[in-house]
A = this chain, B = another copy of it.
Amino acid sequence: MGITRVDLNVSLDGYMTTTDQTPEDPFGADWERLTAAYTATRTFQLRLGHEGGTTGLDDAHIKAESHGIGAEILGAGMFGFHAHPEDSDWQGWWGPNPPFGVPVFVLTHRERESLAMEGGTTYHFLSASPQETLARAQEAAGELDVRIGGGARVVKNFLRAGLVDRLHVAIVPILLGRGESIWQDLRGFEEGREMRSEVAESGVVHVVFEPRSS
């Protein structure tokens, strides 16, 4: 069986969500600053069908994020349910060929049939505890890892339930002062884990906690 992994962009003061969204600017200026180094990478630009992009440490970390993943877990918001409450045929805002390429377990109270997309992504919809959801995802992932893709509250639930083995935070050197903090109630998370940290050319500090290799 693989491990359970989380990758996040967080501000230096620990916020993984931003608060300055408006109808005119649905992501907001803070989100752009929080993800600027991430979206500037070659790997991300390729996903958009663009050429170019950075090829340093930020890019290496993004590449590693999708490597070895056999199933993904997403909250309802990440699938777009909240933005499209009336559309009973909504297929997610990741398009007909989503970037996952693996079974994706979407946490929602809606009852929906599983949805097979192009490129290997199949969405499964369920309402279950983090433990039950993870068991389903692990079964689908086989020998590979499970990634908790977000959003913030889903990640927090899995972290606080002690279900995350490997945590990668890309700490962006800006102070947001408000939002959803990743760091609440994680006292002692480092115990039994190896830590390494590296500074990317962008100034982003990548910190990884992972199970000690025995």
Contact = CB atoms under 8 A, between A and B. Distances in A.
Given A198-B199, A199-B197, A13 B173 contact: no
9 contacts: A13-B14, A13-B183, A171-B205, A175-B186, A175-B190, A176-B187, A177-B188, A197-B203, A197-B205
Given A12-B183, A183-B14, A190 B174 contact: yes
Per assembly, the copies of the chain total: 2
Given A205-B207, A207-B12, A207-B205, A195 B173 contact: yes
Contacts of A175: 183, 186-190
Contacts of A50: none
A178 interface: yes
Interface in A24-45: none
Interface of A is mostly: loop
A196 interface: yes
Q: Which 4 A-B pairs have the closest CB atoms?
A: A177-B187, A13-B183, A173-B195, A175-B189
